[in-house]
Structure 1
Amino acid sequence: MKRSFGIFGIIIYALILSVFIPGKVQAAPGAGSGAIFAVKTSDSPESAVSTQQVNLNGIDFIVDTYHDRILYNDTGVPGYNLFSWKVMADDFNKPHSISSDGLIYLVTDTDNSRVATYTRLPSGEFIELQSFNNVGIRPHYCVYDAPTASFYVWSSYTGEMYIYKRTSGTYMVTLSAVKKIPALFGLYTRSFTIDGNNILLCSQGAGGIVVVNKKTFGFVGAYPVPAELGGVVQVVHVGSHYYLTTSSDRYGNMNMAMTVRSTSLVGFMSLATCEDVTAKLGGVSGMQIPYYITECNGLFYTRLIGQASGYHDKGVVFTEDLFGNILILSTWP
């Protein structure tokens, strides 16, 4: 199959030549609204374009993006619909992800280009603590990185990683650094995964996976994908494989959405060297769109977004056994 890697050649060149460009660090802690969200249950049985599900501090969360809210369930029983789930907060504009350091929760309020922090009160309500505006353009994904005690937040259109740290003994976070990847400026890049000493970025705009050093953000490698996998969402390392989710092909055809895996990142450069595991993860090709895969306590949580009549959003928790077999541990509404 004939493919053009011209854009990747330009990106690789720019990454190699670029040097770290320090971002302006905002010392201000960010003034939160102080809003307390009363405990209430979901008023709808289903989510709408839910991009992420996670388990944080023993609580299950679903980022219900097109309902502009985040749901949670602290019973340990996901149930068959969302009527048993409660609303953490519902004043977002297309949120995409949530993370936690064990004390506070950080949310990407994507279409407001904002991040906000929360904590849960002893009475059960969540309270907004801080709000940071102008976080690049449409920040999509966030991760708490325990080794550096930092929240990493990716701006999907500006090639910038915003790094926040919580002051020890307090609930306050401050923006400690903004690291830039100039070659990804203007190229839609909606997720990243911290994988050891590297960061793996899935860039639909660049047409593949870009790898940078976690500490320096210097270029490590680039892996262009074929047109069929062009709508890359996220790549994660699970057991003996890397898993890659896609929302469409390069041309926006969502019927091509799939999850594939390979024993190396190089394997994603050809359909012949990766395995389609959409069905093994409970998905139906052309009917559901796999989105983020998030590791929580050694297990992997992913959402499947329903796009066809009769196919609703659902979640899957999975892992791999020692032989590389996919084990489905639970399903979520």
Structure 2
Amino acid sequence: MPTQITKLNNMYFIVDCFHHRILYNDNLTDDIVEWTTIDYEFAGCHSIASDGNIFVVDNTGRNEVLVFDSTFKRVQTIPNVGHRPHKVIFKNNRFYVLSSGTQTVYCYKVVDNRLVLEFSRRMDFMGYAYCRSVKIIDGHMYFATDTPNVIYKVNYLDDSFNLVESYQLPSNITFLVDVDYYNGHFYVTNYTDINKSTDLVNFTSVYTELDLQDIPYFTSVIDGKLFFTEVGEIRNAIHSVDYIGTHTVYYSFDGLDISSERRREMYPR
């Protein structure tokens, strides 16, 4: 279940959530068995970020944040990071971690390659909606919540995390996962589709154009392309689309086998 693909320090990373592992490689052409696995038993991790020196991972199943040095040796474990930390991002010399179950962002500064908590902010305007994703777009943070399915635009540069604007999505877009901006359009992924919009109001579905079989999950802009993962019990895959709409599938695996199901149940997720 690849929840995220990203590129950090000229290396590609795939976060394989239900296999409780993170893979990395210097290209997207090698067979997946040639990728290197970080030597750590994660518990349902969803994302990874870096400042160029350290790597920070949300260890979702254990409500932790993990810090690894440049050799991928674990150097810090931060417990009790809300409920189900689901996304970590790095911007402006800070790491931000989203606790999906408590609608809270934790802000950490880096001191001697370790994280020190500066503050946390609970965004009361979200109520108790589950929030999987945070992205920084044009100087604001954008959050995607489900039930209700709303995109929130938030001030973060002043540390207030006050609401700027909210966008109620149409009824056909449910169980939101992620929001991103690429090539003049916002993209939102949800459990049944990928939709794009210039204004977060009028949406066009792109799911059928890509012939997806399962759930599009996190997105990332890498190498001038919009990458996204596809997860589920039908197919798990890594995709990209470029400026002219060229669709590329890098890795694709159909169905689940017994070993994957057993691995999934080994750790909390």
Q: 2:257 matched to which residue of 1? A: none
More helix by proportion, 1 or 2?
A: 1
TM-score (norm: length of structure 2): 0.87
- Aligned partner of 2:51: which letter? D
- Cα distance in 1 for partners of 2:241, 2:90 equals 21
More strand by proportion, 1 or 2?
A: 2
1:327 aligns with 2:246: yes
- Cα distance in 1 for partners of 2:223, 2:94 equals 17
Q: 1:226 matched to which residue of 2? A: 170
- Aligned partner of 1:58: which letter? N
Q: 1:261 matched to which residue of 2? A: 196
Residue of structure 2 aligned with 1:293, choices 216, 219, 226? 219
1:133 aligns with 2:79: yes
Q: 1:206 to 1:306 in 2, by over 3 A?
A: closer
Q: 2:4 matched to which residue of 1? A: 52
- Aligned partner of 2:207: which letter? T
Deviation at residue 89 of structure 1 after TM alignment: 3.5
1:316 aligns with 2:239: yes
- Aligned partner of 2:10: which letter? G
Q: 2:147 matched to which residue of 1? A: 205
- Contact in 2 for aligned 1:117/1:130 (Cα 8 Å): yes
What number of residue pairs does the alignment pair up? Answer: 250
Task: State the SS of the aligned residue for 1:183.
Answer: helix
Task: State the SS of the aligned residue for 2:201.
Answer: helix
Deviation at residue 185 of structure 1 after TM alignment: 4.5
- Aligned partner of 2:226: which letter? F
Deviation at residue 158 of structure 1 after TM alignment: 0.9
Q: 1:259 to 1:87 in 2, by over 3 A?
A: same
Higher radius of gyration, 1 or 2: 1
Q: 2:24 matched to which residue of 1? A: 72
1:217 aligns with 2:217: no
- Contact in 1 for aligned 2:237/2:249 (Cα 8 Å): no
Deviation at residue 297 of structure 1 after TM alignment: 5.5
Q: 1:152 matched to which residue of 2? A: 96
Structural mapping, 1:2-41, within 5 Å:
none
TM-score (norm: length of structure 1): 0.71
User: Identity percentage over the alignment?
Assistant: 28
- Cα distance in 2 for partners of 1:58, 1:288 equals 29
Gaps of 5+ in 2: 253-269
Deviation at residue 218 of structure 1 after TM alignment: 1.1
Q: 1:32 matched to which residue of 2? A: none
Deviation at residue 317 of structure 1 after TM alignment: 3.0
RMSD: 1.8
Q: 2:230 matched to which residue of 1? A: 304
